[in-house]
Amino acid sequence: MSQASANLNIMIKAARKASRSLIRDFGEVENLQVSMKSAGDFVSKADLKAEHIIREELTEARPNYGWLAEESEEVKGADPTRRWIVDPLDGTTNFLHGLPHWAISIALEHKGEIVAAVVYDPIKDEMFTSEKGAGCWMNDQRMRVSGRSRMIEMIFATGLPFGGSADLPETLKDLARILPGCAGVRRWGTASLDLAYVAAGRFDGFWEHNLNIWDVAAGVLLVKESGGLIEPLKKGDNLLEDGHIIAANEAAFDSFAKVIRNT
């Protein structure tokens, strides 16, 4: 992105700095000390270190902004209109199993709307960035959603519930409806990258239930700025707060949404 704002440059710098710590820990993943938060949801020292690095970088640069992140308490900023929304390690379970598919997600919210976004995949060195009205970029390349319009040619992404999740029956019904009519469904375990891949045209669409705001905040803007459509699964819900979303390219959205929403 050739003319990034000061805020976006701060976000990129924070993501790259945190990534260096995460890559070191990923190289020694077998030695990480891991504690369990709940069934299938792990938090590592690497996760906490990365969040500390990002928070230090962002709050030093913008001390008046609010803060919302996965591993710490929310902080109300002196500027009530702006806050950082951060997932320091999206794909923690992949990380802890030595799977090289995880990301850092940072979003800036202004008056309830995401205005800048970074999703960084350190393993592949792919930095997805966007600002409101400025398009979506991966490193220096402009990103656009795919142009496919026939469902049978499309690949979709989703998340599958882990042990103990109440939404397993609903997700199985989703899969039973979508799988017969498409080219495949992928479950890669990192929602921020799923949305970035929709923005880049790698996936044609994405849906998932019960996501947190830090899982999707940056990805929402990436999809919008790459020409895609993204909505709550249930019309009228809050896209960021309610955690059930669907995204696709414009040509596919209506037919895809009809299948997933079962309408």
Average predicted confidence (pLDDT) for the chain: 92
Q: Does residue 82 form part of some domain?
A: yes
Is 184 a domain residue? Answer: yes
Whether residue 159 sits in one domain with residue 118? no
Same domain, 112 and 160: no
- Which of 96, 119, 143 is at the close of a domain? 143
Instruction: Write the pLDDT tens digit of every residue in 187-202.
Output: 999 999 999 999 999 9
Which residues lie closer than 8 Å to 202 by C-beta, 6 or more apart?
146
Residue 209 belongs to domain spanning: 151-261
- 132 shares its domain with 166: no
What's the pLDDT score for residue 169?
A: 84
| Domain limit, last residue, from 143, 164, 189 | 143
What residues have CB less than 8 Å from 110, skipping those under 6 apart?
81, 82
Same domain, 170 and 233: yes
> Is the domain of 110 the same as that of 127?
yes
- The answer to whether residues 136 and 174 belong to one domain is no
**In this structure, is the dihedral angle defined by the CA atoms of residues 91, 95, 98 and 101, taken in order, positive or negative?**
positive
Residue 156 β-bridge partners: 185, 205
pLDDT at position 31: 67
For residue range 105-162, list pLDDT tens digits in order.
Answer: 999 999 999 999 999 999 999 999 999 999 999 998 999 999 999 999 999 999 988 7
Q: Tally the domains of the chain.
A: 2
Residues 22 and 115 in one domain: yes
Is this prediction's pTM over 0.75?
yes
Averaged pLDDT for residues 220-236: 95
What single-letter amino acid sits at 40?
G
Do residues 157 and 87 both lie within one domain?
no
Query: Domain holding 246: CATH number?
Result: 3.40.190.80
Question: Are the beta carbons of 226 and 217 closer than 8 angstroms?
Answer: no
| pLDDT on residue 93 | 87
User: How many Cα atoms occupy the beta-carbon half-sphere of 224 within 13 Å?
Assistant: 19
| Cα 184 to Cα 171: distance, rounded to the nearest angstrom | 15
In the prediction, which pLDDT does 61 show?
Answer: 96
Estimate the crossing angle of helix 250-261 against helix 168-178, to 10 degrees: 130
| From 31-35, 62-66, 74-78, 128-132, the region with the lowest mean pLDDT | 31-35
Question: Has residue 97 been placed in a domain?
Answer: yes
Q: Any idea of the CA torsion for 57, 58, 59, 63, to the nearest 10 degrees?
A: 130
